[in-house]
Amino acid sequence: MSSNTSNTSRKRSADEDTTTQPTIMDAFKKKRPNGNTTTTTTAKPRPQQRSTTASSSKPAAAPDESSPYFSKAETVEQSTNPLTATGTTSTTLQIIESTGDIFSAPINTLLIHACNCQASWAAGIAKAFKQNCPEAFPKYAAYCKKWTPDQLFGTAFLIAPSDDAFSAATTKETADGDDEGFAEADDDDEPGDPATHFVGCLFTSHHYGKRKDSPTKILAATKPAMEDLLRKVQEWNESVDEGKRIKEVRMCKINSGLFNVPWEKTRQVLEGIEVGKSGVEVVKVVSLEE
Ligand SMILES: Nc1ncnc2c1ncn2[C@@H]1O[C@H](COP(=O)(O)OP(=O)(O)OC[C@H]2O[C@H](OP(=O)(O)O)[C@H](O)[C@@H]2O)[C@@H](O)[C@H]1O
């Protein structure tokens, strides 16, 4: 039986929680969308800290031994989980490269790309995200407008599929005769409807085009932005039922196109990121055939 048919746990959408309106107190706390404080001054109120970030008062959850999303390097079974597919004991992110269409991913896959902080997806793969994940762009644009570029820079935004997309996917799985339902989506590699993909926006440059940040600044923002996204993935997966969890993570060769940063430099940064409690050990980097 599909586990999402009896969803009684707290429901929320990733973008909903992360776009909480700032309060007057936040202006004093100078919070950023990643929950950290900043020393820069701005007239715009700072974002509210999320209650479930690692830096919150909530005690850090111990790894759930029964969950396939947390590291259990000693077990063999986890090698079937795309989040932990290599079965090694590395505590930092593993990058696995392949060629293909990033949007041709199974349902419940998180697709990551690098973004400017100006609410623009006008070119490069961002334009393809706008076309393939039409529900995501307005959420990204609205989110950008709530914060200043300085606040967004070095943070991430996680956009979840709509409840309608989840429902439609569940219905389709059932109609296709998949008794395991949506929750077992990670067991096959069938492409899911792009509406069922999560979108991860890494704010690695303030601007685009000629005003884009230098490679040094973009690389400096990439690590905290990815760490912020991993925290948000963890929070999401801990707060929803099995059927809505992120089960695989894919990205393009972020920063390497219009942002003009050599891919190997970005890859090096990503490979230095601690997996932590996010459960995400493997990121599949999918690029178009040469
Ligand atoms: N359709 C497609 N399918 C698959 N892979 C595709 C693709 N199109 C390009 N790639 C590859 O994807 C990687 C990243 O290359 P990109 O140039 O996209 O991104 P970037 O991270 O360097 O820079 C971000 C800024 O580009 C955007 O456009 P705007 O300024 O907003 O208009 C953002 O919003 C930012 O500002 C490179 O390997 C490209 O070969």
Domain-wise residue ranges, the chain: 88-287
Average of per-residue pLDDT across 255-260: 97
Q: Domain 88-287 belongs to what topology?
A: Leucine Aminopeptidase, subunit E; domain 1 (3.40.220)
pLDDT score recorded for residue 15 = 54
Candidates 270, 265, 272, 266; CA nearest to 283 is 270
Average of per-residue pLDDT across 17-37: 50
Sequence-distant (≥ 6) Cβ neighbours of residue 153 within 8 angstroms: 117, 203, 204, 205, 206, 221
Average of per-residue pLDDT across 46-73: 32
Q: Does residue 122 have its Cβ closer than 6 Å to ligand 1?
A: yes
pTM (predicted TM-score): 0.76
pLDDT score recorded for residue 60 = 33
Q: Is the per-residue pLDDT at 44 higher than 80? A: no
Strands 198-205 and 156-159: antiparallel
Q: Does residue 288 have its Cβ closer than 6 Å to ligand 1?
A: yes
| Distance between CA atoms of residues 54 and 184, nearest Å | 28
Neighbours of 16 (CB within 10 A): 11
Cα(104) to centroid(ligand 1), Å: 17
Q: Is the per-residue pLDDT at 63 higher than 80? A: no
Average of per-residue pLDDT across 193-204: 91
Average of per-residue pLDDT across 247-256: 97
Poorest-pLDDT segment among 57-71, 174-188, 226-240, 270-284: 57-71
CA distances from 122 to 131, 135, 157, 212, 258 (A): 10, 15, 18, 14, 11
* Ligand 1 atom with the shortest distance to the CA of 207: 36
Q: Is the per-residue pLDDT at 169 higher than 90? A: no
Contact 244, 203 (CB under 8 A): no
Neighbours of 86 (CB within 10 A): 13
pLDDT score recorded for residue 172 = 66
pLDDT score recorded for residue 37 = 63
